[in-house]
Structure 1
Amino acid sequence: MNAIGAVSAAIMSPCIVTIRQNLSPDHLLGRVQATSRFMTWILMPVSALVAGVVAEQFGTTLTLLVGGVIATMASFIYLHPSLKTA
């Protein structure tokens, strides 16, 4: 399951960058990418802390299941019609 998660994360990263490049105006692309990277790095410790608290309270199985469901639901954004016309 860890390998599947690693492969999924490797696939998701280029998708996010592609969407960002398609939807951002050229003159704002650098700022959008920098802001996205900044938010990602700032939120990593927060998400690790929250995952640790949830895992301590409910167990790791439920924590991983909830994280997988959130990631799967977030991937449906790629199916939005506006991304096909961008």
Structure 2
Amino acid sequence: MPLTLREAHELINGAHQRAMDLGTHITVAIVDEGGHLQALGRMDGAPPLSAEIAKHKAASVALIRRDGAALRQMQEAWPALFS
């Protein structure tokens, strides 16, 4: 079942709070099962390009149905897929 917009914003706010606790600035993208952007939150101080990176990373993870760590392992094993 897809997240509601409110739930997506709650996830973004939680991630931003954790980033503040760690002293960093992040961008969080929430996508649906098809990789379509549902919500995006870029903290003040996060690099502007991080919005595009977060959006594409979230879409990639959704489409391959693996987490970010698995995506990184795939990139290391098959770099041609990511070029």
Query: What TM-score, normalized to structure 2?
Result: 0.35
Query: What TM-score, normalized to structure 1?
Result: 0.34
Higher strand share: 2
Structure with higher RCO (Cα < 8 A, 6+ apart):
1
